[in-house]
Amino acid sequence: MKRVSIYLMAGQKTPELAAAAVAGGADLLEIGFPFSDPLADGPVIRLAGERALAEGMRTQACLECLAETRSRVDVPLIPMTYASLLEAYGYERFRDDAAVAGATSFIVADLPLEAAPELPRIQLVAPTTPTERIRLAAERTDGWLYLVSLTGTTGTRDTVSGQLAGLVERARAVTDVPLLAGFGIATAEQAAAAAELTDGVVVGSRAVEIAAREGVEGLERYVRSLRTAVDERAASPAS
């Protein structure tokens, strides 16, 4: 089955939102630990991060949020953050404390492949990544490979990036690990189209927007729409 991963920014409502996303059909959840200067993020997640920080979501509060989320859902939980938080907290300490709080892996947006081997994590590869480097990332990744579907920051786009198909093809040629595509995937149609090429999708900015605007019920509806579209397309592929 294709996987649907939903990104939520850590915050007071996150455990409840996480439960709703899982009820809607999310297979895994990424929990954003906000950073003041998130280079890989577009405006939606940057603003969500600013709000979370203003609300006091520092590393310790994020770990508590993670533990609380873990008590509500049993899907994989993956903190997604930036190196500066780990530098301050300590990489190994973060790895251990986050695992105790229920994390199953990590994503660090600005930590390249070669850095911090003591923190097993999901590696990201982009359309610009040379194939040899994709192979290396696949060897080192923790479970699945995150395909950044476009050259750009997180955020919604009108269509699925034309760069994704080529990236998938190059990745498939060098690895058997599952490939999940993220960045620029927002609508059910986009999720279905991207999942058709891959083993699943990651949806961030639009999920964060809907969670803020429509709350728990809206998020569950939205995730269900993604789930349904992805599953239907998998059952009867578009010609």
Partner 1 sequence: MTSTGYFGPYGGRYVPETLVPALDELERGWQEVRDDPGFALELEGLQRDYVGRPTPLYRTERLAEEKAVYLKREDLCHTGAHKINNALGQALIARRLGKRRIVAETGAGQHGVAAATVCARFGLECVVYMGSEDMARQAPNVERMRLLGAEVTSVEFGTRTLKEATSEAIRDWITNVETTHYMIGSCVGPHPYPELVGELQAVIGREAREQILEVEGRLPDAVVACVGGGSNAIGLFAGFVDDPEVRLIGVEAAGAASLGTGRAGVLHGARSSLLADDDGQIADAHSISAGLDYPGVGPEHAFLRDSGRAEYLPATDDEALVAFHLLAEREGIIPALEPAHALARALELEADLILVGLSGRGDKDLATVLAR
Which residues are known to be catalytic? 30, 41
* 124 lies in the site for partner 1, by CB under 8 A: yes
CB of 40 to partner 1, least distance (A): 4
Q: Site for partner 1 (CB under 8 A): which residue of 128, 172, 217, 234?
A: 128
CB of 108 or CB of 197, closer to partner 1? 108
SS3 of residue 121 by DSSP: coil
* 35 lies in the site for partner 1, by CB under 8 A: yes
Q: Is 84 exposed, middle or buried (0-12, 13-18, 19+ CB in 10 A)?
A: middle
* 132 lies in the site for partner 1, by CB under 8 A: no
CB of 63 or CB of 192, closer to partner 1? 63
Which residues, 6+ apart, have CB-to-CB distance to 100 below 8 Å? 67
* Binding range to partner 1, per CB under 8 A, among 2-10, 55-63, 99-107, 194-202: 55-63
6 and 17 in contact (C-beta within 8 Å)? no
In angstroms, what CA-CA distances link 136 with 112, 115, 125, 130, 174? 12, 13, 10, 10, 9
146 and 164 in contact (C-beta within 8 Å)? no
* Binding range to partner 1, per CB under 8 A, among 5-13, 99-107, 110-118, 192-200: 110-118
Give the number of other CB atoms < 10 A from CB of residue 63.
22
The residues in 142-181 that bind partner 1, with binding defined as CB under 8 A, are 148, 151-153
CB of 121 or CB of 233, closer to partner 1? 121
* 85 lies in the site for partner 1, by CB under 8 A: yes
CB of 230 to partner 1, least distance (A): 25
Which residues, 6+ apart, have CB-to-CB distance to 99 below 8 Å? none
57 and 11 in contact (C-beta within 8 Å)? yes
**Spatial separation of the C-alpha atoms in residues 86 and 109, rounded to whole Å:** 12
Report the candidate in 6, 57, 1 with the shortest Cα–Cα distance to residue 208.
6
CB of 164 to partner 1, least distance (A): 14
Q: Site for partner 1 (CB under 8 A): which residue of 9, 69, 75, 89?
A: 89
Give the number of other CB atoms < 10 A from CB of residue 191.
28
Give the number of other CB atoms < 10 A from CB of residue 154.
25
The residues in 198-217 that bind partner 1, with binding defined as CB under 8 A, are none
* Binding range to partner 1, per CB under 8 A, among 57-65, 173-181, 214-222, 229-237: 57-65
Q: Which stretches of the chain bind partner 1, using CB under 8 A?
A: 35-37, 39-40, 42, 46, 50, 53, 58-60, 82-89, 109-115, 123-130, 133, 137, 148, 151-153
